[in-house]
Amino acid sequence: MELTVLALLIVAAAYNLAEGATRIGFYDGSCPRVEAIVKSTVRSHMSSNPMIGAGVLRLHFHDCFVRGCDGSILIDGPSAEKAALANLGLRGFEVIDDAKRQIEAACPGVVSCADILALAARDAVSESGGQFWPVPLGRRDGRVSSASDASNMPSPLDSVAVLKQKFSAKGLTTLDLATLSGAHTIGQTDCRFFSYRLYNFSSTGKPDPSMSQSTLAMLQQQCPRGDAGLNKVALDTGSQGSFDSSYFQNLRNGGGVLESDQRLMDDTGARITVTAFGVAGVTFRAGFVASMLRMSDIQVLTGSDGEIRRACNAVN
């Protein structure tokens, strides 16, 4: 059943991408080992730091939501995208740089950093127990990276209405919003990004009433009042290293860590998706593939646009 559902969603997504210039097998002739190199690099880094997979997946999301999926998040500089407030906690750059060095040794000047990041995000999901899927390739790298362009990134403080607007601006739906939020089934966050929910929600001096008592007690223990807020907390309690549907089950039970996650239950369309995915993990795995395919095709540069960077952290 899972493979049937997944196959149908992939076909549908591929049909939606048909007018684009990215395609599966883009490097088959010019750099046939690219996917194997990226996969082995991601696996190597995750073997020493399992949480780095979530960082790589988040990198891809942050890249696509600014100037499109053009690798601009990878560029160094005091005023580059990665210096924006919304991007200061990003991790996983070393994984992409490592893969790029190996690929340049095998196929110099052929594979874009944007494509490496798209592949690495897929492999981070797969290595965490999620679904593997074919990634259309052929993106080129952007030459512009500006922190000011990242000012409208989706935020954990955004309401669902604002998040829906930001996703819609990128051609994504409420279904995509709820589905891609499921990426929080792996990884961690800092207490400082949600501690207000534990002690002073909306300046009431009380906790967020939407949080379950068991979740509140656990998080208050991990994030003491008055602490600096740098402690790491699992986004998916009890399952932070496994790409599964327990994140959605937690939301249904008032166990969301970030406010933006728990608020999905306040929106009718998002709540339907959360409920369905919480009941049927197979549906989530397949749906995540379809939403990732749509997201990774946002405003891509192809053909003669952009460039193929020699190093991912700097334009040529």
Whether residue 48 is found in the same domain as residue 142: yes
Identified catalytic residue from 60, 62, 164, 263: 62
Q: Given a cut of 70, is residue 13 above it in pLDDT?
A: no
Record the pTM: 0.93
Could you list the residues known to form a binding site, using ranges.
Answer: 63, 66, 68, 70, 72, 81, 154, 184-185, 236, 244
Closest CA to 45 of 58, 33, 54: 54
Whether residue 43 is found in the same domain as residue 136: yes
Q: Given a cut of 50, is residue 229 above it in pLDDT?
A: yes
Residues 286, 130: Cα–Cα separation, whole Å: 10
Q: What is the pLDDT of residue 216?
A: 97
Q: Given a cut of 60, is residue 297 above it in pLDDT?
A: yes
Q: What is the pLDDT of residue 228?
A: 87
Whether residue 70 is found in the same domain as residue 131: yes
Q: Which of 103, 124, 150 is the last residue of a domain?
A: 150
Residues 6+ apart with CB under 8 A from 163: 154, 177, 260
What is the span of the domain harbouring residue 259? 160-294
Whether residue 177 is found in the same domain as residue 285: yes
Whole-number average pLDDT of the chain:
92
Tokens 């990774």, located at residue? 296
Residue 305 lies in a domain: no
Residues 163, 311: Cα–Cα separation, whole Å: 33
Q: How far is CA 258 from CA 26, 29, 210, 214, 286, in A?
A: 38, 44, 11, 16, 24
Percentage with pLDDT > 90 across the chain: 86
The mean-pLDDT minimum among 59-73, 157-171, 272-286 falls in 272-286
Residue 302 lies in a domain: no
Q: What is the CATH number of the domain that holds 189?
A: 1.10.420.10
Report CA torsion sign: 154, 155, 160, 162.
negative
Q: What is the pLDDT of residue 207?
A: 97
Whether residue 139 is found in the same domain as residue 168: no
Q: Given a cut of 50, is residue 3 above it in pLDDT?
A: no
- Tokens representing 193? 């990004």
Tell me the residue type at 38.
Answer: V
Q: Given a cut of 80, is residue 18 above it in pLDDT?
A: no
Q: What is the CATH number of the domain that holds 47?
A: 1.10.520.10
Q: What is the pLDDT of residue 4?
A: 46
Three-state SS at 301: strand
Whether residue 40 is found in the same domain as residue 143: yes
pLDDT grade, residue 11 (50/70/90)? very low
Whether residue 204 is found in the same domain as residue 254: yes
Instruction: Tell me if 44 sits within 8 A of 105, measured CB to CB.
Output: no
Count of domains observed in the chain = 2
b/e 48-69 (16+ beta carbons within 10 angstroms → b): eebbbbbbbbbbbbbbbbbbbb
45 is catalytic: no
The mean-pLDDT minimum among 10-24, 46-60, 162-176 falls in 10-24
Report pLDDT digits (tens) over 238-262: 888 899 999 999 999 999 999 999 9
Could you list the residues known to form a binding site for substrate, using ranges.
Answer: 154
Report pLDDT digits (tens) over 99-123: 999 999 999 999 999 999 999 999 9
Whether residue 257 is found in the same domain as residue 186: yes
pLDDT grade, residue 20 (50/70/90)? low
Q: Given a cut of 60, is residue 14 above it in pLDDT?
A: no
Could you list the residues known to form a binding site for heme b, using ranges.
Answer: 184
Residue 117 lies in a domain: yes
Residue 279 lies in a domain: yes
Whether residue 139 is found in the same domain as residue 220: no
Q: What is the pLDDT of residue 279?
A: 84
Instruction: Tell me if 263 sits within 8 A of 160, measured CB to CB.
Output: yes
Whether residue 27 is found in the same domain as residue 116: yes
Residues 6+ apart with CB under 8 A from 282: 1, 2, 5
Q: Given a cut of 70, is residue 5 above it in pLDDT?
A: no
Q: How far is CA 55 from CA 6, 187, 232, in A?
A: 25, 7, 13
- Tokens representing 84? 């924006």
Q: Given a cut of 90, is residue 17 above it in pLDDT?
A: no
Residue 6 lies in a domain: no
Residue 16 lies in a domain: no
Residues 36, 91: Cα–Cα separation, whole Å: 22
Give a three-class secondary structure readout of 100-155: HHHHHHHCCCCCCHHHHHHHHHHHHHHHCCCCCCCCCECCEECCCCCHHHHCCCCC
Whether residue 176 is found in the same domain as residue 274: yes
Whether residue 191 is found in the same domain as residue 276: yes
Could you list the residues known to form a binding site for Ca(2+), using ranges.
Answer: 63, 66, 68, 70, 72, 81, 185, 236, 244
H/E element, 55: helix 52-64
Instruction: Tell me if 126 sits within 8 A of 288, measured CB to CB.
Output: no
Report pLDDT digits (tens) over 127-144: 999 999 999 999 999 999
Q: Given a cut of 80, is residue 218 above it in pLDDT?
A: yes
Q: What is the pLDDT of residue 2?
A: 46
The long-range contacts involving 254-257, CB below 8 angstroms and separated by at least 24 positions, are: 254/210, 254/211, 254/212, 254/215, 255/211, 255/212, 255/214, 255/215, 256/210, 256/211, 257/184, 257/189, 257/194, 257/215, 257/219, 257/233
